[in-house]
Amino acid sequence: MRNRDNILWLQCWRDQQIDFHQQTVNRFLTRFWPTLNLALGSRVFVPLCGKSLDMIWLAEQGHRVVGVELSQIAVAAFFRENGLKPNRRQAGQFTLWQHGRISIFCGDYFALRASDLDDIETVYDRAALTALPEDIRQGYVSHLRKITAESSQIFLLTTEDAVKHETLLQSQGVSEEIKSLYAKNFRIDLTHIESVLELDPDAPDQPPERAEYKLYRLSNRSAA
């Protein structure tokens, strides 16, 4: 199953079907990240990072940023478009691209080991979880626990479809999927939520549907 999804992801980058890529730094990141009060030099892991500008912003805050991305096209574009000239070397099954405070492992996320990442203090997940097919998400979360320290926390941004016929007040809680994926091993804090009406670009004549932009902060239960 993963091989098929990997092929589709690589094809998206070859065809430049990357509407998911944000042209600016995520506004929730800049607004809420400072509340974590992380020390300068702390290591931040960005899974399925693409060519996200959020990595530039995180590095500018003094963090050491470690990303992983399957597509070499995406990794090369990240450094080229930001005027950075990375060093490259082979690191096991990955090609490791590095410049300054930013390192990106080019290869399959599921091949990463804890020894590749060293001590990660925070995981920044803007769209990694939601980009994955639903049948892979549990495996993604399980692998994340294997390769990050028990003390690591997760800064998780999601875009969730509002449940049909659910009122705005009813939608203010933690989604059932997030509970099923994380509640066993993580304490879940829903830090912020915004509800917006969005048109489906493939059905512009249909009434807009409500989407929920949510920020979760997760901490490992076993670290308590």
- The domain ranges of the chain are 25-63+114-223
pLDDT-derived band at 166 (thresholds 50, 70, 90) equals low
Superfamily of domain 25-63+114-223: Vaccinia Virus protein VP39 (3.40.50.150)
Mean pLDDT of the chain: 89
Query: With pLDDT > 90 as the criterion, what percentage of the chain qualifies?
Result: 65
pLDDT at 192: 93
User: Does residue 148 carry a pLDDT above 90?
Assistant: yes
pLDDT-derived band at 1 (thresholds 50, 70, 90) equals very low
Identify the residue whose tokens are 């899974």. 47
User: Does residue 17 carry a pLDDT above 90?
Assistant: no
Least confident of 9-23, 119-133, 145-159: 9-23
Half-sphere exposure (Cβ direction) of 207: Cα atoms closer than 13 Å: 2
Render pLDDT for 20-64 as a digit per residue (tens, 0 to 9): 777 899 999 999 999 999 999 999 999 999 999 999 999 999 999
> What pTM was computed for the model?
0.89
Q: Cα dihedral sign for 175, 177, 182, 183?
A: positive
Render pLDDT for 98-121 as a digit per residue (tens, 0 to 9): 999 999 999 999 999 999 998 899
